[in-house]
Every structure is written in structure tokens, then in C-alpha cells.
Amino acid sequence: MLVAITYVDAGVDQHKKDQAIDTILDMMKRTHDKGVIDLPWGFAGLYSLVTSPALKKKMKHPVLVACTDGVGTKLKLARMLGIHDTVGIDLVAMSVNDLLVTGAAPLFFLDYVAMGKVDKAVLLDLVKGIVDGCKQSDCALLGGETAEMPGMYDGGDYDLAGFCVGIVDKAKIIDGKAVKPGDDVIALASSGLHSNGYSLARKIVEGQDLAAPFGTSTLGKTLLAPTRIYAKTIRKVLEKHPVKAMANITGGGMVENIPRVIPKGCAVEIREGTWDVPPIFTHLRKLGDVPREEMYRVFNMGVGMVVVTAPRQTEAVLRTLRKAGETASVVGKVVRGSGAVNILEE
């Protein structure tokens, strides 16, 4: 006799997901601006460029800018600690900070959550973080997808992907072409590891007590600190000052990310001691006996973003950054060279 098999028998419980939808929709609305067009049946998200607050100042040639990214193995740490309401901030930050370096303002964000088994509490915590990140970015959470995928992910495992769209006037795109030897490199402090280098970090702390005190927190929570979002700060800078280039310091650190935004014939010299390296990096280096060069290739080392300016603009840019709450300092110079970033020891 055949036994009827249901979707629940296969590991997918649509009812559990549906139970969270109303709450998620209410959370999303907290991020909405005048550009969002309400579409009750929700097969897609609609956004009007005519009514968007980002276009209060008329653009001669509006250009859309798109980014996508994830959070990586930092999610494993979140699951280990049972803290799920901060990695959503990371998800937004990874795309928004990439988008900012072009000179664009974020418009809207979409998320994709894949879970082995839908846990309503975990799902709502994840969305809470995404909403928080969107608020920090002045960005509307326009929509998302939650996929329950038994067999693809273990029961409590999940993965995140995010997609952000922004806008910039073509004449104001920051492409790095104006960078030249003599320009200053300004560093904006990171909040910690951000969302890169976690495979190495987890390997280093394997077997360590993540609940052990570390500074004013614990080792685990210090490692899980959410990525800093620079959207509001960078918008203030761009409204007041010309900027030649910016780089989001993600995987590959300063060594691999700064060369992406400087032209041929240029290189960069960064001087150690010109910014504060958070204790977590020193701890990881000592605990894992990690070579100095490897630390700079993998981690941001306390620098979340760099801004390249003409020397005559540097002090004014620093004042704006600091007034906006950023810890910022000149950490290096653009020099003649073949694109390399050289980290000079103290």
C-alpha cells in the first residue's frame, strides 16, 4: 500500500515560514522611503527613481550601480555562539560599502536566506540585522527570499546573500583615474574583522573558550562584531569634498584592495603606527603564530575603508570624517610604482 508523502515529510514546512512573513513585512516597512511602491501580492519589489529621496538633487545622467555579496564563514561563528541578529548587518555592509566607493548612494537592498530547516526565531533575528543594516545605510529593504533546503544544508545551518542597487550621477563616478603620486591615503577604522578572514580566524581559535573575557567583551563576541557601515559618513564627505578614490578593505586586506582603485604608474606606501590596530588582530597573530605578511593579506588590520585625496583637501576631509564619528587618520602616500601596496614597518 502506498503511503502519501507530503512536503513536510520531505523536510520543508511552508507553514513555519509563513508564520514569520507578517512580522518580516512589518520590519521591512521601517526601512521604506518615498521611492518604494507598495505591491501587496509581492512577486517583485518596485522602486521609483522619480520619488526617491536620493534624487532630491537632479542628476544630469543617473547611473545605477549594483553589488552582491555574502557573509562567508562568519556565519559558522554566529551559529556556534547562538547570536544571529548581527550577521544581517554584515550582509548589508558587504554590498553597501562596495557600492559607496563608486560615489553612489544606496537605494534598495534584497536578501536571500537559505536554511536547512526554518527556525522562526533565527529567521527573525537575521532579518532584524538586515533591517538594522539598511537603516544605517539609508537604504530600503525592498524584498527577499527564504529558502528551506533540507539535504543541502544541515538542520541549523544557513547562508545569506545580499544584493544592493544604488545611483550616482555619471559625472561624479569615482574611478581612481585622477590619483597621482603625492596624494594622501586616509584610513577609516574598522569595527574588527568585519566579514573576511574567518576561515583563518576560526582555525586559530579552534579549541579556545569563546566565552572567555576579551577586553570589555568576550572573545566570541569580539570576533562577531558587525561590519561597520560607512554610508552616512561617506555621503557627507562627498557632499563637501572632492575625493579621488576609495577602497573597501575586504578579503585581501589593504594589500589587495587598494591596487584595484589606483591607476598604472602608481603604488602606495602605508606606514604602520599611523592607525590603531585593534587588539583582536594582535591576539590572533600571536595565538596562531601568523606571519606579518599573511596578516595583511587576510585581514583588514583595523582599516575598514580608505579614501585617497589631494593633499590640499586632506585636513578638510579628516575634519568631516571625525565630525561624523569616524576614527580617521592619514596612513600613507601614493608614490610612483607598479600598483603594489607596501606596508612599511615602524
Supply the mean pLDDT for the chain.
95
State which of 135, 170, 205 marks the end of a domain.
170
Answer whether residue 6 shows pLDDT above 70.
Answer: no
Residues 153 and 71 in one domain: yes
Residues 58-67: tens digit of each pLDDT:
899 999 999 9
Asked if 316 and 309 count as a contact pair (C-beta separation under 8 A), the reply is no
Q: Among 137, 170, 203, give the residue marking a domain's end.
A: 170
Q: What is the CATH number of the domain that holds 120?
A: 3.30.1330.10
Question: Do 138 and 190 reside in the same domain of the chain?
Answer: no
Average pLDDT estimate for 272-292: 97
Same domain (yes/no): 248, 133: no
CA angle 312-315-316, nearest 5°?
A: 90
Cα angle at 71 between 42 and 8, to 5 degrees?
A: 50
For residue 277, the enclosing domain spans 184-344
Please count the structural domains in the chain: 2
Strand partners, 343: 270
Confidence of residue 234 (pLDDT cuts 50, 70, 90): very high
User: Phi, psi at residue 116, to the nearest 5°?
Assistant: -65, -40
Are the C-beta atoms of 302 and 275 separated by less than 8 Å?
yes
d(CA 276, CA 226): 18
Q: What is the reported pLDDT for 1?
A: 59
C-alpha–C-alpha distance, residues 106 and 36, integer Å: 13
SS (H, E, C) the chain: CCCCCCCCCCCCCHHHHHHHHHHHHHHHHCCCCCCEECCCCCCCCEECCCCCHHHCCCCCCEEEEEEEEECCCHHHHHHHHCCCCCHHHHHHHHHHHHHHCCCCEEEEEEEEEEECCCCHHHHHHHHHHHHHHHHHHCCEEEEEEEEECECCECCCCEEEEEEEEEEEEHHHCCCCCCCCCCCEEEEEECCCCCCCCHHHHHHHCCCCCCCCEECCEEHHHHHCCCCCCCHHHHHHHHHHCCCCEEEECCCCHHHHHHHHHCCCCEEEEEECCCCCCCHHHHHHHHHHCCCHHHHHHHCCCCEEEEEEECHHHHHHHHHHHHHCCCCEEEEEEEEECCCCEEEECC
Residue 228 lies in a domain: yes
Mean pLDDT of the region 88-112: 98
By the 8 A CB rule, do 73 and 159 touch?
Answer: no
CATH code of the domain covering residue 270 = 3.90.650.10
- Asked whether the beta carbons of 230 and 175 are under 8 A apart, the reply is no
Residues 165, 255: one domain? Answer: no
- Encode pLDDT of 143-171 as tens digits: 999 999 998 998 899 999 999 999 999 99
Query: Has residue 155 been placed in a domain?
Result: yes
Domain boundary among 170, 200, 222: 170
Q: Are residues 323 and 190 in the same domain?
A: yes
112 part of a folded domain: yes
Alpha carbon of 166 to those of 263, 268, 273, 290: distances in Å?
24, 29, 35, 38
Q: Clarify whether residues 163 and 199 are in a common domain.
A: no
Residue 3 lies in a domain: no
The model's pLDDT over 128-145, given as tens digits with 9 standing for 90+, comes to: 999 999 999 999 999 999
Return all residues near 199 (Cβ < 8 A) that are at least 6 apart: 72, 73
Given a cut of 60, whether residue 296 has pLDDT beyond it is yes
What pLDDT is recorded for position 148?
Answer: 92
Are 145 and 252 part of one and the same domain?
A: no
The confidence score (pLDDT) of residue 39 equals 85
Judge whether residue 299 has pLDDT over 80.
yes
Tell whether 316 and 284 lie within a shared domain.
yes
- Of the pLDDT bands very low, low, confident and very high (cuts 50, 70, 90), residue 18 is confident
**Residue 120 clears pLDDT 90, i.e. is over it:** yes
- Would you say residue 175 lies in a domain? no
